[in-house]
Amino acid sequence: MLQPDLFFAYGLSSGMAVAAGKQLKKQESTFANKYFLSLVVWLFAFYVPQVFYLLRRFTGWESMFVIREFNDVPAWLYGLYPGATLVMAALGFYVAAALLKSGRVRAAAAQFPIGILIACLIMTVGWDGTGYQRLFYIGSGADWMNHVSYPILDWFTSPIARTLAWLETIVMVPYIVLFIRWARGK
SS3 readout for 35-98? HHHHHHHHHHHHHHHHHHHHHHHCHHHHCCCCCCCHHHCCHHHHHHHHHHHHHHHHHHHHHHHH
Q: Which domain holds residue 175?
A: 2-183
At 186 the pLDDT is: 83
Q: What is the pTM of this model?
A: 0.94
At 114 the pLDDT is: 97
Contact yes or no for 90/14 (Cβ under 8 A): no
Split into its structural domains, the chain has a count of 1
At 1 the pLDDT is: 86
pLDDT tens-place values along the chain, 186 residues long: 889 999 999 999 999 999 999 999 899 999 999 999 999 999 999 999 999 999 999 999 999 999 999 999 999 998 899 999 999 999 999 999 999 999 999 999 999 999 999 999 999 999 899 999 999 999 999 999 999 999 999 999 999 999 999 999 999 999 999 999 999 998
Which among 80, 82, 102, 100 has a CA at the least distance from the CA of 90? Answer: 82
Degrees, nearest 5: CA angle 95-175-89: 30
